[in-house]
Amino acid sequence: MPIDPALLRAFWFPVLPLDQLGPGPVAADLLGEPLVLWRGADGEPHAAPDRCPHRSARLSGGSLSADGNLQCPYHGWEFAADGTCRAIPQQPERPVPEACRLRTYLAQARYGRVWVCLEAQPRLPLPCFPEEHDPAHRRIDGFWELWEVSPFRVIENGLDNFHHYFVHRGLLEATTARPDPIEGPIADTADGFRFRIPLQVHNNTVLQDTLDTDAGTLTVQRQVSWIAPLGLSLELEWPNGLRQRIVLHAVPTGSGTTRISRFYFRNDSEEQVPAAAMVRFERGLIDQDRAILTAMAGALEPWPTGEHLIEADQPIALMRQRLRELLQPR
């Protein structure tokens, strides 16, 4: 059964690539709510409902004043980063009523994204990836695109360790449909859980371009982390010393659509493997996954019924169980 999107409001979600936040306000969507994003006078991102409290005009169609205030395109009302109404041009001599205040949301810039939480007290902190401040690693922006898909299916696919042999033929070619089991127990983390599981693959010309190695068969060590409620981190360790972290978030925008946010950390250089080559390889993998996932029901349903999970689906079963606990109405 689909859930009320309001149950997800108290979590952080990436809602816009930071480089798309230019000199004026920008529209975004989260959990069915239109948002306006802008840089304040402090240079930091800010977020609010995309609706002027005066006459409901879309603030994303407005501009920024010289003071960094958000200015409505309809009547020129101006709002500071904290939502205070600073100017009403129609009655400049009168004090601004407190009721004219614009509601604002928590917003932060991190990992090349603008993150927003729609409640004043987030249930969990923003995820932390130590590679962001490690000079031995580079961050590569991957994908920012809209899919007609359930966000929960997207994250479950990342926890599914047994689809590679069938879905990713021709790209990431698993050597067997029955890979090694999970190494040890699934461990709890502050914002979800993690587990380790290796994957043996045939190296091919496409994969070689992203790894800078021509070894015939490779075993990649994989640590998979679920970041509640709709995030995933996949840490890969290749035999040649390459380390890569894939960070995926499935952001419910509304009406059965999900924004896919995906970026990477790698401990190699542009000279060794160009970012464009890595992204081309990932593009193929993502398109293979997308063909499967978008053909499934797209409802906002974290624990679908009528499915028969097996032992290999233990991480998916655990995610569904934890979501039941996490998303209970408070």
pLDDT over 90 at 330, yes or no: no
Sheet holding 33-39, edge to edge: 26-30, 33-39, 45-49
Q: For the segment 266-295, what is each residue's pLDDT rounded down to a tens digit?
A: 999 999 999 999 999 999 999 999 999 999
Cis (ω within 30 of 0) for the bond into 95?
A: no
pLDDT tens-digit profile of 246-263? 999 999 998 899 999 999
To the nearest whole percent, how much of the chain has pLDDT over 90? 87
The confidence band for 209, taking pLDDT boundaries of 50, 70 and 90, is confident
The whole-angstrom distance between residue 329's C-alpha and the CA centroid of its chain comes to: 23
Phi, psi of 315 (to 5 degrees): -65, -35
- The model carries a pTM of 0.95
Paired tokens of 296: 């499934």
pLDDT score for 112:
97
pLDDT tens string 148-204:
999 999 999 999 999 999 999 989 989 999 888 899 999 999 999 999 999 999 988
Which CATH code for domain 5-117?
2.102.10.10
Domain definitions of the chain by residue range:
5-117, 133-326
CA dist 194 and 232 (Å) reads: 10
Domain 133-326 has CATH 3.90.380.10: yes
DSSP string, 86-149: EE-TT-TTSPPPGGGPPP-BEEEEETTEEEEESSSS-SSPPP--GGGG-TT-EEEEEEEEEESS
What pLDDT is attached to residue 193? 98
Judge contact between 21 and 46, C-beta under 8 A: no
Residue 220, pLDDT > 80, answer: yes
The whole-angstrom separation of Cα 246 and Cα 225 is: 10
Do 133-326 and 5-117 fall under one CATH topology? no
Per-residue pLDDT, 179: 80
Place of tokens 């009406």: 255
Cα 195 to Cα 151: distance, rounded to the nearest angstrom: 21
Is the predicted pLDDT of residue 5 greater than 90, yes or no? Answer: yes
Q: How many residues does the chain have?
A: 330
Burial class (CB in 10 A: 0-12, 13-18, 19+), 255: exposed
